Chain A
Amino acid sequence: MPSSASRAAWCGLLLLPALALAGCNKKDPAPAPGGDPSPAGAGVGADVTDGTVLFASYCAPCHGEKGDGDGVVKLDRPARSFVKGGFSFGNTPEALMRTITNGIGGTPMPGFGETLTENQREALVQRVIELGPPQEAAPAPGQTEIVVHDRARVARGGLPPIAEGEAPVVRGLLVGNPDGLTWQYNADPLELLGVRQGKFVDRKDWSSRGGDALEPLGQVMFVLPKEAWGWVDEQGNAAEVILSAVSTEPGLKLGLGGYATEENNGVVSYTLRRADGELVNVRERGGAATIGGLTGFRRTMELKPDRSGLHPRPGGRALDGFPGTCHYFEGKPGSAPWIRLERPLGIVGTGWRIGTITTTWICLTGDPQTDLETLRKELAQ
């Protein structure tokens, strides 16, 4: 569990991206604090495909010219050293391409999918691999670490508390996506507890007689406040989860429907059973999100059928002036303050389908005092 000292570091880090990355963002060339000498990538045309040149322009400010993590932009948590093989999501060309294209949610690492051509990104992949040590072998079969490569993996098992003061979970569910994010759930009652970034999981229950908790290996990016999620019906009844076999409670019951891999990404299904017996199926997919300089994650929820009238429980502090609905939540230990945006944002895959509602919630780290302005600007464009 992080001590108070490391929590302080987290808060600092998670406030930083909007500012530090401004230097990496084509729309806002304001200099970063800490004296970024030149906006990264400035002056490099689309015709430049030399990985060394591109690396010097786009990567070296944070990762250092030698790729050793010692760049001129000083981050609270230093950028990865490629020399030491410090890859968050594995060092296959495919994994590196994804990281360079999409960035790493919750960290200062931006995505270059819109900034650089595919050829340029491929050149960067090759350069980064050259800078690294000889390729690491994947863990041998039978080793207890589960590694996510190009296809999502799930792990069921007990989980340690996601943050100090939280309870351990006896029925845990981890979904590790190829983008490097791990979605950590309590499967009973079904609840997203938080999002991690980095390696997936060590199956500690493969030792001793069994029953030991799993050890998620990723760093916690977000710990979700209890009041942040949930469902209410038209009457405002909150979903409750009780052991299905023993429950006699009226109202809305929330259960785990299952978990799957679709198009290589993880999907978690919820079942919402209403007092009249109607069953609403909810499918959730998650991924990293970046809006402007703000980073975070998005949850896309598909509700079927659409006549359910179910909608997310309001929570946190409502904030005005957005095309969607925006709620602000205080940070939890191990996490930062964050913002929940609800549809219709019009900037990610939201909209109506026949018989299905698709709702996207985007959670971004940020502080309303500073980051909401940035966000408004981004969304206004």
Chain B
Amino acid sequence: MMCFLMLAAPLLQADESQFTAVDYLTPPSGEVIEVGGMDFNAAGDLFVSTRRGQVWLIENPADPDPSKAVFHLFAEGLQEGLGLKVLADGVYVMQRGELTRLVDVDGDKVCDRFETVSQGWGLSGNYHEFGFGLPVDADGNFYVSLNVGFASPEWWLGVSRAPYRGWVLKISPDGQVTPLACGVRSPAGLGIDDQQRLFYTDNQGDWMPVCGLFHVQEGDFFGHPASLSWREPYRSRGDVVSNTEVPSDKRSAPALWIPYEWSRSTGNVESAPALPGFEPYTGDLFLAELTNGMVLRAMLEEVEGHVQGAVLPWRQEVGSVFRIAFHPSGVLMAGMTNRGWGGLNPGSGIARVRPTGKNPLEYHRVHLLRDGFELKFTAPVPAGADPVAHVYDYDYNWWWDYGSPMMRQKDLDVAGITWNADRTGLTVKLAAPIEAGRNVRVRLDGIGLLHPEFDYTVHTLPGSPEVVYVAKEVEPPALKQNPDEGWLTLTWRDPFDAWTSKGWELVNAELPDKGAEAFTITPGNSALVNTGFPASGFVSKAEFGDIEFRFRFMMPKGGDSGLYFMGRYELQLNDDPWGCLGVIHGKNPRAKGYRGPGEWHEVSGKFFAPRFDADGKKIVNARFDQIQADGVMVIGSCEVGEITAGGVGKDEVAEGPLFFQGSAGRVAIGDVRVRRIVEGEEAHDGGGWTAWDGASRSQGGSFELRGDLNLSDQGGSVLWLAENGGEGLRLVLDHTSSAEARTGSLRGAEFQEGDGLIRTQLLQPEIDFDLLVRVTRGADSAHVEVFLNGLRMQSLHTTAPLAPGNLRLESERIPGTVLKVQNLEIRSR
């Protein structure tokens, strides 16, 4: 009986936790350590750089008792630290804009001096321009990788607005920068293996079908075209290379395309050292994986000069792993972060993955044959185990659209399986030769492998040096109509600015216990919550008539709120599947769109204001149309002729504010957007418009001005409405990430301080928008109205008459601004 059990145990599907234990260090109270870089000093102390620009020195990081770890705040104030390396002369940190040497001069475990090694790459101010690192080669050169920015027409489409965005760079110890390879998209991790080969990892998106592991050699181009603007001959010609057209430069193929089911955000790469518990994997590459929260393992080989191989999970259920590092005592440290990136919990801190001393049966080597695979295991497999192989292959599309599903998948027939003499390996022969340019997935059941499935990326075959791409060039999808055009984002950047409210906070809200009647609130910015319950309504300052709308909401158990359109007509939001998303005094939802407490719902639809005749008598009721929750239609069309109590008005009118109820129960809302509905041709507006080129012209009296504008990311322009000697009334056009006065703001001494200031980013950069400004001059004051995309966002009276002045468009208020203007017209009134 005992003998049977000993034989049988390895044949069962084993649990990873028998072989590797995971525990977590406890950071100092209140600190959130969002790991961006990790390395050890000679004493085995752990240095960690974070997305918050801190560097922590952690003593005893690998002690079996996690409470023995001692945290010291070594440095702070850096601009993100997404890579760290400890060398004899200091701690090197890759900041967003600088490679820096940190020196503790007096040995008190606090950095005293930050020395700039290099700032030799560009930043445009786009939030997505992360800089990653930081392996060092035998000659002391550093390697860093630079993210492209994200921009329209799709928010995830990469752009390279400054030198070397989308490149891997080599930086010499004295700070000289050598651009090494380009075509990278979101290169979150780097690593040098035990053969001194440099690798980087990329994240799926445009021109990246899935995450990949790339062997980097000087001159490589990995396929994302945005970075080509900094490569010859494009650079000399000043070309801005299209990010939606197939580039003509020759691609370098990756070592691995990593299946989406295993990796959605790959982090750094570490070559496994010969440490206790890791001996079977020595020389393999371990990969951090953030979204799925695990550590992956890659077994590479060189086939006809091309580095390629197999990948598979190694340890799952760790957390949002962004960085890994092997502690010399034989513990794999895993640093976590997930802010804004969305990964498995925990989303910050340091995990420790420690072999338990019990060894699993794993693949040891995977070797590609022309018609199958030669496989080695980490231990002999007992006689009697009967292997069954399942094999299929597939490839990917290569295009500007976001990622690619597995394409052209087909099963491959297995011709036979042959054990080697000592049962430490076997050969799987397929019925037909393997094709290059495919990923092959192999699953071997029946012999008790802890991870029975691997995925091999075949770019070359033994005996055939030609590289055949797995990511196939295909007809790209049509460029989608810009989904953001025409919308105003009312809660972007400063979410309170476009609203009046009391008792609402911007936080992170979660409902870990679905039965809880209040959210678990932590600092953050993902939800607007009436934490001061009962709170006031959350009421837009602007008033609207017919609008298309989008917003998100989440309820705790018993949650109760409502969105009153025009402050009057309520769309019910409550914790009741058959009441939520109904129209009060109208209809109940016709389908269940509400999925319960703790779930975020995205609601969209249209609202039409009531219509009145010339005498002010209502002739058409207000109407809701096509209300959807997460794509489920809950209200087709619903007229409503009665005002809900508790809003902002008692009479039916033509325009009113949006009003989220804050006093009935708890609710979390977010991402509120509106777009004016234009149905059919616009009514004749009286005409009298004349074209204007934006040049300075003297302008008195009352006038209107309109145009179609498009302002670059980080751009700033000014439309002077009444300029006198460089001062006067003006409209701000500003898409910088840091401006206080954003597009639509009115500035000038004519207004009280604070009036006319818009802190909300109502418009997204590089997306066309309509502007209409109406200036009405009176005897002792003036009235200025600003319409963005047809919605009136400003209506201000000056406290003094508005003197005549110059009308002038200053398009490049901030150097480098690109302001595109079409159909600029003006008329006197």
Question: Could you pull out 13 A-B pairs where Cβ atoms are within 8 angstroms?
Answer: A141-B31, A153-B77, A156-B79, A158-B738, A160-B740, A206-B51, A208-B127, A210-B80, A210-B339, A243-B119, A244-B118, A255-B116, A261-B113
Residues of chain B contacted by A133 (CB below 8 angstroms):
none
Q: Nearest chain-B residue to A204 (Cβ)? A: B738
Beyond the given A160-B740, A211-B125, A244-B120, could you list 17 further A-B residue pairs with CB under 8 A, ordered by the A residue number?
A2-B753, A3-B753, A141-B28, A154-B114, A156-B53, A164-B741, A168-B736, A187-B119, A188-B97, A206-B52, A209-B340, A210-B80, A211-B737, A212-B127, A244-B176, A244-B177, A258-B101
The answer to whether A259 touches B751, judged by C-beta atoms less than 8 angstroms apart, is: no
A-B contact count (CB 8 A): 165
Given contacts A208-B525, A255-B119, contact A244 B31 (CB under 8 A): no
**In whole angstroms, how far apart are the Cα atoms of A258 and B78 in the complex?**
12
Given contacts A168-B739, A170-B97, contact A207 B77 (CB under 8 A): no
The answer to whether B753 touches A6, judged by C-beta atoms less than 8 angstroms apart, is: yes
The answer to whether A170 touches B116, judged by C-beta atoms less than 8 angstroms apart, is: no
User: Residues of B at under 8 Å CB distance from A?
Assistant: 28-32, 51-53, 76-80, 95-98, 100-101, 112-116, 118-130, 163-164, 175-177, 179, 339-341, 523-525, 714, 716, 727, 736-741, 747-749, 751-753, 813-815
Q: Nearest chain-B residue to A188 (Cβ)? A: B119
Residues of chain A contacted by B112 (CB below 8 angstroms):
260-262
The answer to whether B30 touches A141, judged by C-beta atoms less than 8 angstroms apart, is: yes
Tell me if A4 is interfacial: C-beta within 8 Å of chain B.
yes
**In whole angstroms, how far apart are the Cα atoms of A142 and B73 in the complex?**
12
Q: Nearest chain-A residue to B78 (Cβ)? A: A156
The answer to whether A3 touches B119, judged by C-beta atoms less than 8 angstroms apart, is: no
The answer to whether A1 touches B126, judged by C-beta atoms less than 8 angstroms apart, is: no
**In whole angstroms, how far apart are the Cα atoms of A159 and B119 in the complex?**
17
A277 to chain B, nearest CB (A): 12
The answer to whether A171 touches B98, judged by C-beta atoms less than 8 angstroms apart, is: yes
**In whole angstroms, how far apart are the Cα atoms of A35 and B354 in the complex?**
77
Residues of chain B contacted by A213 (CB below 8 angstroms):
737-738
The answer to whether A243 touches B747, judged by C-beta atoms less than 8 angstroms apart, is: no
Using a CB-CB cutoff of 8 Å, which residues 164-206 of chain A contact chain B? Answer: 164-165, 167-168, 170-171, 187-188, 203, 205-206
**In whole angstroms, how far apart are the Cα atoms of A246 and B177 in the complex?**
9
The answer to whether B524 touches A207, judged by C-beta atoms less than 8 angstroms apart, is: yes
User: Residues of A at under 8 Å CB distance from B?
Assistant: 1-6, 140-143, 146, 153-161, 164-165, 167-168, 170-171, 187-188, 203, 205-213, 243-246, 255-262, 269
**In whole angstroms, how far apart are the Cα atoms of A157 and B76 in the complex?**
12
The residue from B30, B116, B122, B130 contacting A258, defined by CB atoms under 8 A apart = B116
Given contacts A160-B739, A207-B525, A258-B114, contact A170 B124 (CB under 8 A): yes
Residues of chain B contacted by A168 (CB below 8 angstroms):
125, 714, 736-739, 814
The answer to whether A257 touches B738, judged by C-beta atoms less than 8 angstroms apart, is: no
Q: Nearest chain-B residue to A189 (Cβ)? A: B119
Residues of chain B contacted by A160 (CB below 8 angstroms):
736, 738-740
The answer to whether A4 touches B727, judged by C-beta atoms less than 8 angstroms apart, is: yes
**In whole angstroms, how far apart are the Cα atoms of A166 and B21 in the complex?**
55
Residues of chain A contacted by B738 (CB below 8 angstroms):
158-161, 168, 212-213
The residue from B31, B116, B177, B741 contacting A1, defined by CB atoms under 8 A apart = B741
Residues of chain B contacted by A161 (CB below 8 angstroms):
736, 738-739
- A6, A153, A165 pick with most chain B CB within 10 angstroms: A165
Residues of chain A contacted by B813 (CB below 8 angstroms):
165
Residues of chain A contacted by B128 (CB below 8 angstroms):
209, 211
Judged by DSSP, the binding face of B is loop
Given contacts A160-B739, A167-B815, contact A209 B339 (CB under 8 A): yes
**In whole angstroms, how far apart are the Cα atoms of A17 and B650 in the complex?**
56
Residues of chain A contacted by B76 (CB below 8 angstroms):
146, 153
The answer to whether A243 touches B120, judged by C-beta atoms less than 8 angstroms apart, is: yes
The answer to whether A146 touches B77, judged by C-beta atoms less than 8 angstroms apart, is: yes
The answer to whether B125 touches A170, judged by C-beta atoms less than 8 angstroms apart, is: yes
Residues of chain B contacted by A146 (CB below 8 angstroms):
76-77
The answer to whether B97 touches A171, judged by C-beta atoms less than 8 angstroms apart, is: yes
Given contacts A5-B749, A168-B814, contact A205 B176 (CB under 8 A): no
Given contacts A153-B77, A170-B97, contact A158 B125 (CB under 8 A): yes
B492 to chain A, nearest CB (A): 10
Residues of chain A contacted by B28 (CB below 8 angstroms):
141
Residues of chain A contacted by B96 (CB below 8 angstroms):
157, 211
Residues of chain B contacted by A171 (CB below 8 angstroms):
79, 97-98, 119, 123
Residues of chain B contacted by A203 (CB below 8 angstroms):
52-53
**In whole angstroms, how far apart are the Cα atoms of A121 and B55 in the complex?**
38
The residue from B115, B124, B175, B714 contacting A244, defined by CB atoms under 8 A apart = B175
**In whole angstroms, how far apart are the Cα atoms of A160 and B759 in the complex?**
13
The answer to whether A245 touches B524, judged by C-beta atoms less than 8 angstroms apart, is: no
**In whole angstroms, how far apart are the Cα atoms of A203 and B434 in the complex?**
54
**In whole angstroms, how far apart are the Cα atoms of A153 and B523 in the complex?**
24
Given contacts A164-B747, A168-B737, contact A245 B177 (CB under 8 A): yes
Q: Nearest chain-B residue to A175 (Cβ)? A: B77
Q: Nearest chain-A residue to B755 (Cβ)? A: A3
Residues of chain B contacted by A2 (CB below 8 angstroms):
753
**In whole angstroms, how far apart are the Cα atoms of A143 and B52 in the complex?**
11
A364 to chain B, nearest CB (A): 26
B607 to chain A, nearest CB (A): 29
Q: Nearest chain-B residue to A139 (Cβ)? A: B30
The answer to whether A4 touches B339, judged by C-beta atoms less than 8 angstroms apart, is: no
Q: Nearest chain-A residue to B73 (Cβ)? A: A141
Query: Which 10 A-B pairs rank lowest in CB-CB distance, beginning with the nearest?
Result: A213-B738, A211-B127, A209-B340, A245-B177, A141-B30, A245-B120, A4-B749, A160-B738, A260-B113, A258-B115
The answer to whether B525 touches A3, judged by C-beta atoms less than 8 angstroms apart, is: no
The answer to whether B127 touches A209, judged by C-beta atoms less than 8 angstroms apart, is: yes
Residues of chain B contacted by A209 (CB below 8 angstroms):
127-128, 339-341
A1 to chain B, nearest CB (A): 6
**In whole angstroms, how far apart are the Cα atoms of A243 and B32 in the complex?**
34
